[in-house]
Structures are given as C-alpha cells and as structure tokens.
Amino acid sequence: MGSVVVAAQPIFCDTFLLDVIKRFKQIHPKVGVRVIDAGLQELLKMIDNNTCDVALGITLEADTYGATVSSLARCSARCIMHRMHPLASQDVVALTSLQNQTFVELMADSPLRARVDYIMQTVDIKRHIAAEMRHMRGVCALVDRGLGVAVIDPIAELLLQGTAVVSKPMEPTIEWEIALLKSKHKPLSNVAESFCEEIYAEIDSLHQMGILISLNN
C-alpha cells in the first residue's frame, strides 16, 4: 500500500514516465501514483518542501534547494522540421544554417529556451519566432503543421511517431543532463525506491534506443 508522488518536467510526463508508471503498477498494483508536471523552479521547491518523493529535471542547481542530485544521462538537443522543409535534406543542422529561420519555441521561462536563446545570441543567429508554447508536445505539433523549425529535448522524439516531422542532430551540440532529485532531509520509502528503479530501467532503454547519451561516453 502507500503512494508515490513524482514531480517532473512536462516532457517527461508526456513520454517515458508513462511506461515507468505502467511497469511500476504491474509490480505494485495497490500503490497510488501521483505525477505532477512542474516547471524547474516549482519542482525544486516541491523537493525542498517535501511535497513530492522524487523529481525529474534538467537542473544542476538543485543543491541550493536542499536536494540530492543524481545525473542519469546526457541529452543532446535536436533540431526538428517538417519533412518538406529545406533543412530536412541535411544530415546535421549547423547553427549557421538557422540564420533567419522561422522558429516555434517554448516559453521564455523554459531552461531549454534560455539555453537556446543564449547560444543564438552568442553566435549572432537571428530567428523569427512564429509561436511560443508551454509544452514540448505543442511545439512538435506546430512543427508538424509546417509553422517552422524547433530545437527540442531528444526525449521529445518519442512524440514524433506518425507525424511529418524529422529530427536532426546539431553542430555544435547543445547538451545537458537529466537529473533525479531527492530530498536531503527525508529518506525515501520502499515504494518510492522501487519507483526509482523503474526510472533507471527506462533510462537504460532510452540509451539503447539512441535517444539519450550515457554519462560514460
């Protein structure tokens, strides 16, 4: 019995956490699971306030919020576009080829958006922003409708099946780490530890699919 409360950034809630929950419930059918999609600052505060058992984010600043951080994998950003877009013929999308392209973006408070903005400004890449969306699934859906290109978390490739969207690696790469956050002050319950084991198993599966990069590489 018991329950597990997980806070995670929306792209994780929309993708691999669904498989984690399915497998966990097969093993622990009587344990309740509550998943809260949260932005970076909110999930850090939830860990600090002990209102969730674990959190999944892409932050390296969690120590200031009383969290223990375990890096799970490296992510390398992908550039997506409609399959009829001129960039779709390139094997690798160079940042310079994004000059004056039309973009679909996450909102400005997204950590990935902030990283992309900084890099584009550093190399003086001008881009036209057609639309901004709160969640990555909305960004992918607008790219599927031909509104522009986007820089996405590689996890979002799981949302592209059955669409007209193609995904390309970028040069130079834009990288970060997926991190599992736990409270420094509250030990995990046995069922929460079991849930973490399913997260680790799913991360390994994403490594094998080539979506995530091992920390050892």
pLDDT digits (tens, 9 = 90+) for 98-114: 999 999 999 988 888 88
Q: Over 80: is that where the pLDDT of 64 sits?
A: no
Class of domain 3-74+177-208: alpha beta
pLDDT for 104 equals: 98
In the chain, residues under CATH classification 3.40.190.290 are: 78-173
In the chain, residues under CATH classification 3.40.190.10 are: 3-74+177-208
Closest residue by Cα to residue 106 from 74, 136, 71: 136
Class of domain 78-173: alpha beta
Does the pTM of the predicted model rise above 0.85?
yes
With tokens 């998943």, the residue in question is 35
The model's confidence at residue 68, banded by pLDDT at 50, 70 and 90, is confident
For the segment 194-212, the average pLDDT, to the nearest whole number, is 96
For the segment 198-216, the average pLDDT, to the nearest whole number, is 94
- Strands, DSSP E only, in 99-203? 102-106, 128-133, 150-152, 165-171, 175-183
pLDDT for 62 equals: 46
Q: In sequence order, what are the residues at sequence separation of 6 or more whose Cβ sits closer than 8 angstroms to the Cβ of residue 41?
A: none
Q: In sequence order, what are the residues at sequence separation of 6 or more whose Cβ sits closer than 8 angstroms to the Cβ of residue 28?
A: 191, 194
Q: Over 80: is that where the pLDDT of 197 sits?
A: yes
